[in-house]
Homo-oligomer: A and B are copies of this chain.
């Protein structure tokens, strides 16, 4: 994991094998980033991807072992219990002749080849709070 800060935002590159969510979280802790948005492209493998089942009030995740291109990734950073929490969604395309896509919430992913992230710290403090009706910790702005 390397990065370069600019006046606008931070370019972060993750190397093969790095844990996306853990590495970004550690970076935000180290840099004291209490709110941010980000986007990214590259490739990942060993992915837990899924969606929130509002009826069951729980996430469903599927495991994908193989390599996918990150055709699109968007997310944000906010505080949960005072610690930076990464909320990431992505569209992943299968690395075969179909280039077909799956997408949704990324619980876990490891970098394959490389991941190039652009993160914009927002300079304010935003927290997530549990919404009892939904069953999720939602952005409290």
Contacts and interface: CB of A to CB of B under 8 A. Distances in A.
Contacts of A122: 6-9, 11
A89 B69 contact: yes
Interface residues of A, number: 67
B118 A134 contact: no
Copies of this chain: 3
Tell me whether chain A's interface is mostly helix, strand or loop, or mixed: strand
B114 A136 contact: yes
A116 B121 CA distance: 16
A93 to B, nearest CB: 4
Contacts of A13: 138-139, 141
Contacts of A39: 37, 39, 74
A7 B93 CA distance: 34
A122 B75 CA distance: 20
A43 B50 CA distance: 12
Contacts of A43: 51-52, 54
A101 interface: yes
Contacts of A131: 114
A43 B4 CA distance: 32
Given A39-B39, A53-B95, 11 more contacts: A4-B124, A6-B122, A11-B35, A11-B126, A50-B99, A51-B69, A71-B89, A71-B91, A91-B91, A93-B102, A100-B101
